[in-house]
């Protein structure tokens, strides 16, 4: 049977989609190729969130087309994911050697389409239509694909987003919010746990809105939000040790979710709270639905409910109309909150989004300059926070050998920090205590504490 290589760009949702597509192909008899150079089929799972991600995938495809012509005539080349969805057949018009363009609601059709292309039944396939119930089709897992996936797995709970932040292309590439049922999700989690998984990350574009648009999915006599009902249900699974979720929206941290951190021991003390900007004026233009003060209130509630909780965020610099004063409000908020880590993005104009048409687009050099200033600040704060771990004993879940040095093993703390230590295969999949001895850039170095020997 032919072999397939999938290259993934972008977020964890894309990683998860690629894994599910790979698993479907393996179930149909395809093998997974070690590299694109030896594969019969190469799929690029694309990201559209920023222009840079799109350009990377397009350049990659141009290279693939060049090598295929020279060395591997007959190799099947395809785009899938967000850019496939937003650009559709235009991708084949620009690069006619591309065979397949598969949208975000069509991953379950991949084997059928590749079979047809290989058999020569169809010459080109573009399918980016919407498909009812596609949210429940991403369920296959490849647990032995990597060390990490054997103890820690991602489970997709919903697709799409209806928040329509004015800068964001996701509502257009992923469609309307659609949620899977609680029993369906719990069954998938149980199955993973029975195969050795100990940590599950619930995934979606806006997980805190889980179930809100599908009232038939949830219990109405509960005062808890559907997302917290789901957390409760997953929490009951015996053998599951840790629960995480991503990506939430700040407005989703209601009292019930904040209390869940204190109430549910398996829910890890780490919260991603995407800020985007510290200026109320910009937050409004972004259509984020909260203010600076509200955001600070959420962080305070979380830290009170779960002291030591790791708080991470996303921030955009150079949104249209952002003045120096607005940007300084972001700096001051970052200083005030002291994020454990922050992902900073230079604003990127996305086609058909409202912000792309807004006046006062910020010049590129100012976006760069603000990016550096904010990065310096958040890195300084994060490094100080990392240093605070030295001498402390923390529980980690061991994922496997480190990619760079096989004698080192890697695990994560409950607050989602990476820990490296001198380990061996017997540690894999274990929850163990380590004492933190020193820190590196966004890494802690630990010594297995005596109790584990
Ligand atoms: N909820 C989604 C958000 C997707 S985008 C998720 O699954 O993570 C992730 C981050 O990219 C956003 O939080 C935002 O900070 C950034 N981002 C989104 N659109 C952007 C744009 N047009 N330019 C720059 N950064 C952007
Ligand atoms: Fe994008 Fe805002 Fe949704 S950032 S994914 S539109 S919450």
Q: Does 50 contact ligand 1 (Cβ within 6 A)?
A: yes
Q: Which residues pair with 8 in a beta bridge?
A: 45
Largest CA distance in the chain: 64
Q: Does 15 contact ligand 1 (Cβ within 6 A)?
A: no
- Residue with CA nearest ligand 1 atom 1: 205
- Residue with CA nearest ligand 2 atom 2: 165
Q: Are strands 408-413 and 418-422 parallel, antiparallel or unpaired?
A: antiparallel
| pLDDT (tens digit per residue) in 292-310 | 999 999 999 999 999 999 9
Distance 247 CA to ligand 2 centre (A): 9
| Neighbour tally for 354: CB within 10 Å | 16
Angstrom distance (rounded) from CA 414 to CA 244: 9
- Pocket-testing residue among 48, 82, 86, 205, ligand 2, by greatest number of atoms within 8 A of Cβ: 205
The residue among 255 and 132 whose pLDDT is bigger is 255
Q: Is the pLDDT of residue 147 over 50?
A: no
Q: Is the pLDDT of residue 216 over 60?
A: yes
Average pLDDT over residues 107-118: 95
- Who's near 426: CB < 8 A, 6+ residues apart? none
Average pLDDT over residues 86-93: 96
| Neighbour tally for 409: CB within 10 Å | 28
What is the CB < 6 Å shell around ligand 2?
161, 163-165, 168, 170-171, 205-206, 249
Closest-lying ligand 2 atom to the alpha carbon of residue 164: 6
Closest ligand to C-alpha of residue 351 is: 1
The candidate with the shortest Cα–Cα distance to 282, out of 325, 336, 345, is 325
Closest ligand to C-alpha of residue 330 is: 1
Peptide bond just before 119 cis, omega within 30 deg? no
Distance 170 CA to ligand 2 centre (A): 6
Q: In what order do the strands lie in the sheet with 152-156?
A: 152-156, 199-203, 242-246
Are 48 and 351 spatial neighbours (Cβ–Cβ below 8 Å)? no
Confidence category of residue 405, pLDDT binned at 50, 70, 90? confident
Distance 136 CA to ligand 1 centre (A): 24
Angstrom distance (rounded) from CA 138 to CA 127: 17
Closest-lying ligand 2 atom to the alpha carbon of residue 169: 1
Percent of the chain, pLDDT > 70?
A: 97
- Pocket-testing residue among 170, 252, 355, ligand 2, by greatest number of atoms within 8 A of Cβ: 170
Q: Are strands 125-127 and 3-8 parallel, antiparallel or unpaired?
A: unpaired
Q: Phi and psi (nearest 5°) for 128? A: -125, 20
Give the mean pLDDT of the chain. Answer: 94
Which pLDDT does position 18 carry in this prediction? 95
CA-CA-CA-CA torsion for 298, 340, 207, 307, nearest 10 degrees? -50
Q: What is the CA radius of gyration of the chain?
A: 22
Distance 168 CA to ligand 1 centre (A): 6
Which pLDDT does position 311 carry in this prediction? 97
- Which string of DSSP letters, residue by residue, matches 302-346? HHHHSTT-EEEEEEEES-TT--HHHHHHHHHHHHHHT-SEEEEEE
**CA 5-8-9 angle, 5° bins:** 150
Q: Does 320 contact ligand 1 (Cβ within 6 A)?
A: no
Which pLDDT does position 64 carry in this prediction? 96
Write out the two tokens for 93. Answer: 């018009």
Distance 343 CA to ligand 1 centre (A): 10
| Neighbour tally for 335: CB within 10 Å | 14
| pLDDT (tens digit per residue) in 153-211 | 999 999 999 999 999 999 999 999 999 999 999 999 999 999 999 999 999 999 999 99
| pLDDT (tens digit per residue) in 316-351 | 999 999 999 999 999 999 999 999 999 999 999 999
The residue among 110 and 135 whose pLDDT is bigger is 110
- Residue with CA nearest ligand 1 atom 8: 247
- Pocket-testing residue among 46, 49, 348, 350, ligand 1, by greatest number of atoms within 8 A of Cβ: 49
| pLDDT (tens digit per residue) in 28-81 | 999 999 999 999 999 999 999 999 999 999 999 999 999 998 989 899 999 999
Closest-lying ligand 2 atom to the alpha carbon of residue 171: 6
404 to 398, 421, 439: CA distances (angstroms) = 16, 13, 17
């Amino acid at each position: 049977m032919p072999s397939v290589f999938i290259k993934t760009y972008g977020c964890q949702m894309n990683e998860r989609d690629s894994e599910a597509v790979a698993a479907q192909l393996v179930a149909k008899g395809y093998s997974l190729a070690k590299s694109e150079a030896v594969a019969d089929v190469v799929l690029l799972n694309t990201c559209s969130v920023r222009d840079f991600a799109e350009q990377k995938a397009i350049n990659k495809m141009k290279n693939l087309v060049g090598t295929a012509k020279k060395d591997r005539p007959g190799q099947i080349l395809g785009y899938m994911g967000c850019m496939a969805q937003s650009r559709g057949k235009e991708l084949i018009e620009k690069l006619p050697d591309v065979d397949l363009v598969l949208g975000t609601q069509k991953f379950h059709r991949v084997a059928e389409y590749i079979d047809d292309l290989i058999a020569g039944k169809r010459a080109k396939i573009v399918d980016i239509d919407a498909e009812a119930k596609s949210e429940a089709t991403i369920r296959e897992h490849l647990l032995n694909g990597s060390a990490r996936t054997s103890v820690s797995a991602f489970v997709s709970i919903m697709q799409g987003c209806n928040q329509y932040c004015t800068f964001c292309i996701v509502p257009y590439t992923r469609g309307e919010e659609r949620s899977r049922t609680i029993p369906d999700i719990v069954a998938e989690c149980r199955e993973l746990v029975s195969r050795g998984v100990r940590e599950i990350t619930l995934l979606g574009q806006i997980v805190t809105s889980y179930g809100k648009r599908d009232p038939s999915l949830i219990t109405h006599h509960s005062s808890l939000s559907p997302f917290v009902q789901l957390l409760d249900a997953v929490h009951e699974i015996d053998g599951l040790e840790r629960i995480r979720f991503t990506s939430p929206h700040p407005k989703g941290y209601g009292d019930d979710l904040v209390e869940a951190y204190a109430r549910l021991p398996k829910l890890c003390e780490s919260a991603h709270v995407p800020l985007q900007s510290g200026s109320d004026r910009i937050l409004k233009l972004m259509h984020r639905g909260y203010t600076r003060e509200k955001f600070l209130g959420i962080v305070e509630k979380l830290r009170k409910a779960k002291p030591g909780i790791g708080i991470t965020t996303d921030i955009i610099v150079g949104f249209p109309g952002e003045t120096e004063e607005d940007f300084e409000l972001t700096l001051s908020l970052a200083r005030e909150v002291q994020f454990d880590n922050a992902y900073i993005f230079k604003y990127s104009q996305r086609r058909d989004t409202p912000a792309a048409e807004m006046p006062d687009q910020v010049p590129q050099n100012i976006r760069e300059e603000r990016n550096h200033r904010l990065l310096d600040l958040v890195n300084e704060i994060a490094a100080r926070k990392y240093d605070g771990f030295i001498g402390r004993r923390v529980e980690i879940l061991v994922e496997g050998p480190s990619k760079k040095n096989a004698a080192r093993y890697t695990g994560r703390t409950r607050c989602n920090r990476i820990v490296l230590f001198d380990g061996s295969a017997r540690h894999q999949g274990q929850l163990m205590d380590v004492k933190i001895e020193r820190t590196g850039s966004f890494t802690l170095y630990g010594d297995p504490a005596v109790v584990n020997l």
